[in-house]
Structure 1
Amino acid sequence: MNREQDRTALVTGANRGIGLETARRLVVAGLDVVLAARDPARGRDAARTLGSPRVRVEELDVTDAMSVTACAERLADDGVAVDVLVNNAGIYPTDGFFSLDEDTLLRALDVNLMGAFRTCRAFCPGMARRGYGRVVNVSSGLGALTGNVPSPAAYGVSKAALNALTLVVSAAVPQAVKVNAVCPGWVRTDMGGRGAPTSVEQGADTVAWLALLPDSGPTGGFFRDRKRIDW
């Protein structure tokens, strides 16, 4: 039996784009998948495209701590243990620094940083207790301190903070729980636009690879195209 047949993955922002393609790949790999979306109707529509009985739709707004807690409680009540967490939900404000208002920056931090913080707080303790876990934070090269943090301002700051959170969480859990960040590239999604050079399938490849790492796999790293990159 494939080991993955006993695993469950939860993917946030999974009703479209990289999240949906990642969910598709994890189902093909043999995992049960919790397709999490702010809008459950859109989540159900997306789940139908996967055509698998192994997909469960859950309402989850990563900006609402009560929503995250309620989702975790519903899953626990049904005996569902989350083994793989893909923090994919995100927003992409494009304001330059001098046109950036405080509300926009706080919104970016709430979704891109605090959303992952809330889900890690909800699901990583169980991974640590069970001695197995994979956490994938979907970040960006625009959050790399050695790269292009200055632009766009709120997005770059929030993704740099997400990278820092990746290191913090990886140090807090046992080695058996692998926590990594990924830069999927500039992807042709609603966020990336039609002119982006990378397909959704290519963008989701490293995300799914990190979600399925073997026990010997890396932790506390930042990856693009399955290769470690600088923070």
Structure 2
Amino acid sequence: MALILVTGASTGLGLAAAIELADDGHDLVVHARTPDRVPGADTARWAGAVIGDLSDLEATRDVARQANEFGRFDAVIHNAGTMRSPATVPVNIVAPYVLTALLHKPGRLIYLSSSMHRGGSVDLDRLASATATYSDTKLWVTTLSRAGAHRWPDTTSHAVDPGWVPTRMGGSAAPDDLVEGHRTQTWLATDPDVRPATGGYWHHRRTQSPHSAATDVDFQTRLLAALARRTGIHLD
């Protein structure tokens, strides 16, 4: 059985993925913003929890410190996300970058993207000035996933479009299937026969072509440099 970390596991897709994985016998460490948001805190479902506000850089560093106390994860699902400014940049791209840089390198990395990433901008001045849109951040996290696939032969790295699903963020009128919205993540975290083994952009277990910038090695390099300047943390 695998040791797996899921960020943003209090509600929605993160909680659904964590529950399914735990029910399948895996050891789940769940992340929540505050202790009272840890799901099922009075049960033995989880192997543990890490606490911290991913919109805050120092708190994100501390989440990494807490997570590393569990050892090396077999998989990390970077599920946490928001559409609410000014937290969009810190939560959607800075936190996944910082956790990726500071955690013991896991066997598998899964990043939550969105079909909206195709409307994102390659203007990285938006990252420095914190004027980025939700679409921008999802393009950048998709790029981060592909950068990892290029750099780490012993770690697989994928991005997932879960669809427009009826979560708190998606809204009750969202038309896509909530169950299918999380099952690609659980599959990527545990299945031994994922193909392609790394570097995929997935929707409902099928690969799609992401925005061309995500596969551009020069843009990957510029994004990583911009994130290093913003955080003072280098990826490699």
Give the match for residue 59 of structure 2.
67
Q: 2:40 aligns with which of 24, 31, 47?
A: 47
**Structure 2 gap ranges (5+):** 122-131, 211-236
**C-alpha distance in 2, partners of 1:18/1:76?**
23
Task: Give TM-score scaled by structure 1 length.
Answer: 0.78
Is 1:160 equivalent to 2:142 in the alignment? no
**C-alpha distance in 2, partners of 1:216/1:197?**
27
Alpha-carbon distance change, 216 to 149 in structure 1, aligned in 2, over 3 angstroms: closer
The offset of 1:115, in angstroms, is 1.3
Alpha-carbon distance change, 9 to 221 in structure 1, aligned in 2, over 3 angstroms: same
Amino acid in the other structure paired with 1:72: A
Matched-pair contact (CA < 8 Å) for 1:72–1:122:
yes
Amino acid in the other structure paired with 1:115: A
> Which range moved further: 199-208 or 176-185?
199-208
Task: Please state whether the residue corresponding to 1:19 is helix, strand or coil.
Answer: helix
Provide the alpha-carbon RMSD of the alignment.
Answer: 2.2
Alpha-carbon distance change, 82 to 65 in structure 1, aligned in 2, over 3 angstroms: farther
Give the match for residue 94 of structure 2.
114
Is 1:56 equivalent to 2:34 in the alignment? no
CA deviations on 1:98-151 (whole Å, 9 max, x unpaired) are xxxxxx4x632221111110111122x433xxxxx111101101103xxx448x
The offset of 1:88, in angstroms, is 0.7
Give the match for residue 137 of structure 1.
111
**C-alpha distance in 2, partners of 1:223/1:195?**
23
Give the match for residue 220 of structure 1.
199
**C-alpha distance in 2, partners of 1:207/1:75?**
19
Give the match for residue 223 of structure 2.
none
**C-alpha distance in 2, partners of 1:20/1:191?**
13
Is 1:32 equivalent to 2:27 in the alignment? yes
The offset of 1:86, in angstroms, is 0.7
The offset of 1:24, in angstroms, is 0.7
Matched-pair contact (CA < 8 Å) for 1:134–1:178:
yes
Is 1:14 equivalent to 2:3 in the alignment? no
Aligned-pair identity (%): 29
Amino acid in the other structure paired with 2:198: T
Give the match for residue 218 of structure 2.
none
Give the match for residue 169 of structure 2.
191
- Number of aligned residue pairs: 199
Give the match for residue 188 of structure 2.
210
Amino acid in the other structure paired with 1:58: V
**C-alpha distance in 1, partners of 2:12/2:108?**
21
The offset of 1:159, in angstroms, is 0.4
**C-alpha distance in 1, partners of 2:55/2:146?**
21
Amino acid in the other structure paired with 1:117: Y
Amino acid in the other structure paired with 2:71: V
Task: Please state whether the residue corresponding to 1:126 is helix, strand or coil.
Answer: coil
**C-alpha distance in 2, partners of 1:65/1:16?**
22
**C-alpha distance in 1, partners of 2:194/2:176?**
29
Task: Please state whether the residue corresponding to 1:203 is helix, strand or coil.
Answer: helix
Matched-pair contact (CA < 8 Å) for 2:120–2:137:
no
The offset of 1:39, in angstroms, is 1.5
Amino acid in the other structure paired with 2:48: R
